[in-house]
Structure 1
Amino acid sequence: MGLVICAPTPSFACNRFSLTSFGALYISDVQKEDALSTYRCITRHKYSGETRQSNGARLSVMDANESSPTILDSFQAGEINAGQSIELPCAAGGYPSPTVRWLKDGRPLPSDARWTRRLTGLTISDLRLEDSGSYACEVTNSFGSKEVSGQLHVIDPLRVTLSPKNLKTGISSTLFFTCSVEGSPEYSISWYRNTEPIVPDQHMSIQGQHNDTLQITAAQKLHSGAYQCFATRKGHTSQDFSIILLEDGTPRIVSSFSERVVNPGEPFSLMCGAKGAPPPSITWTLDDEPVVRDSTYKTSQYTLSDGLTVSHVNVSSPLIRDGGVYRCVARNSAGSAEYQARINVHPE
């Protein structure tokens, strides 16, 4: 079996042998000694490393006869994402060896470092949308000419964003996922959970003009998992994913106030902190009547990065009637929790 080694420095022999991106071997300026070798191709699996070897082939080399060009390998049409590379094959035979000329949309190719003319065809790297068009390969010698042409369509690659990301929330929540797609139009969207296609049911529905929204109503613990959104167009696919964790998110009071006695006119502040999933909202009552924000009562609420919701009631100038049982109630879609204590307002 003959083996051509092209390192460290390419030799004349190496320059005569060309291997295409799709596995074809071409030999230019064929010599009689090329018939002394047996040629085989060896493939290696990308992931497993397993190798396979083809049957051997011998080359018959005869004296050259003058002939018009023949095209040994050609292309017709192709669609590819921008940013990738492609080889447009145009391997020609004939004697004398034909010259090759490439045209784009009927004009000779301009100079561009991304375009490489090879014995086996034209290689275009870092494809751009403007590279789309009609490509023609003309091969000519003193006995005639041949031409092959085809269309190249460069498309903007699909880009998918699924939101929200890595969501942790409570059972019974209503969730919305949005699959945003940029790039080529006329795509289709499909949804998966834990690698299985999502089948709409009483809890899960797929909505939107392009099926770009997934709604989960009254979510249960079994709805936890990895969600994927796939956008597909003519065999081109892009996807994004989100991890959802559903837990018992019933609120719980984690910080509160204690019973006390204050003098009339002596300002006081009450604080209530609660956690839950989703983060709860907190309301206040005084003797079972809602505390209304006004000139006497100032309320505030915020949620910290760790999910703790904190609420305050500030009473700037309390009267005796502002004493009583203050209750804070934390609520979310999973349930509620409350805490209460008496604040007495009377003179010492």
Structure 2
Amino acid sequence: MPSKPAPIKKAAKKEPAKKEEEKAPEPAPAPAPEPAPAEAAPAPAEGEAAPAEEGPAAPPAEEPKPPTPPPADAAPTEEAAAPVAADEPASDAAAPVAADEPASDAAAPAAAEEPVVDAAAPAAAEEPAVDAAAPAAAEEPAADASAPAAEIPPAATDAAEAPADAAAAPAADEAAPAAEAPADAEAAEAPAPEEPKAPTPPPPPPKEPTSAPVELFIEDKNDTSVTIIWSQPENIGLSGLDGYTIEICKEGTEDWKAVNEDLQKSCRYVIKNQTTGDRLKIRVVAVNAGGRSPPVTLPEAVLVKEIADRPKVRLPRFLRQRYVANVGDKINLTIPFTGKPKPVVTWTKDGKPLDAKRVNIRSSDRDSILFIRTSERDDSGVYEMCVKVDDFEDKASLILQIVELPGPPATMKIVDTWGFNVALEWTPPVDSGNTDIKGYTVQKADKKTGDWFTVLEHYHRLNATISDLIMGNTYKFRVFAENKCGLSETAAVTKGEAKILKTGIDYKPPNYQERDFTEAPKFTTPLSDRATTVGYSTKLLCSVRGEPKPKVQWMKNQMIIGDDPKFRQICVQGICSLEIRKPGNFDGGVYTCKAMNKHGEATVCCKLEVKQAAVPDAAKK
């Protein structure tokens, strides 16, 4: 067992280390170390003391083995403790404690007061103790935190080195009783190698404000608000853009006040609740982590007043010409207009104010409506609409014409009657229905029946002639006037009547000279010779003409044939025939036909042959 004076030496050697810590600049503020980690530091030493009792620690102390290299991610503070551990093997156990700055300060007094620490010298001399120290250093959370430790300023690094040296010194003193005296001398004379300092990290880039917004101008305004728009800054930078602040002040002052409580994200803003007539200066500032950008200001102060737009009446096309409606129709005409601010609309009729009892006017921001519930003739006229904004105005006129059926023609009369014709005349109607007369319709009626019939339609003249009347009848006439609404309800009727008289007719035939048709008989068809057979009747034919009618006489062989029954004489319409009945052998000869009247006579002759019938030879025998 090692003697107790060792802790006294350890405490004596640790005092300079504490003084160095006091002289060193204080590191960055860190949470105060808890006593639990400080007590946990010697725990591995107690566990290592058990194998140290099994064998003497002197031989390993004469030939110390090189320390186990630290892990790649170990902090610079562990590298600084490694050279000390090369001289004193027991410092391997202290290395993990030195990695934690606050723990190393608490571990030093704990190691000095703990008697078990004296057994660390034989434990450090043995090989298993060195191997156990390496994982302990790797498992220490402080060693894993080497990356953040690199950011600690150099002053804090020096302060961390001091406790590490202080922790290594007591460990060397504890090992001194077990080791030989020359080991302490060598450890004391060996100069500590210079510890490499961690590279200084580059400073973070400075946070800068953005450039000024661009293209600030007025989008719209009215009597109480102003609408502005702008574009984002050209240079935003790494700090980004948080929003915009809109500031205003009255002209002539520099008392700038923000009108938005929160940063404006969009590039459009409506400045509300302003006083009409004020002149405001307006500017916009972009804000980010670097602060406020240079402002962009409107070049001129803005007058809080609605933008004046010249008024203009947009008269519809169908109202640019005469608008015609019938009496009793409902009139509802909408006339749009433009102008800003809202124009003042006025109406007149024929240069005089409208009658509110007859005509209703309703106007909005965009149009005006002329409304008449039931139109009358008196509503006709020229209506004029006027819109006015400040000193500017515009006018438009429309002609409203209310029409109805015309009255009848004023007068109508019968001018003349002759033969089957009647001439009429009339005058235009007194009331044309407030429109042009398109024509007239003329009708007639027979007094006997009383039915009216149209004889002329769409007739444009003021006089007419009615023809094709029936003789002996009496007629009345009437005329209707016609306009675009139709025929007049009544007609103008003639006061008198027109009677078509029956006139007497004396026929005097013309005195023609009678033609003399008297003529001496003349045969137009002569007799022809004939042949006949005995016993077969035959006929002789001829034709004759003459005026007066000639007397016909037949003769045979110059002998007058009288009333002989054998002959038959017929004379009809100048055709004369003589029939010989069953002539015999003695009936042949010359036959003559003689025609006679007071103007003369004529004869024709023919020969008749009567042949004997042929007898067969058998009959002769």
TM-score range, shorter chain: 0.3 to 0.5
TM-score by length of 2: 0.22
RCO greater where, 1 or 2, for CA within 8 Å and sep 6 or more? 1
> For the pair shown, which has the larger CA radius of gyration, 1 or 2?
2
**Larger relative strand fraction:** 1
TM-score by length of 1: 0.35
**Larger relative helix fraction:** 2
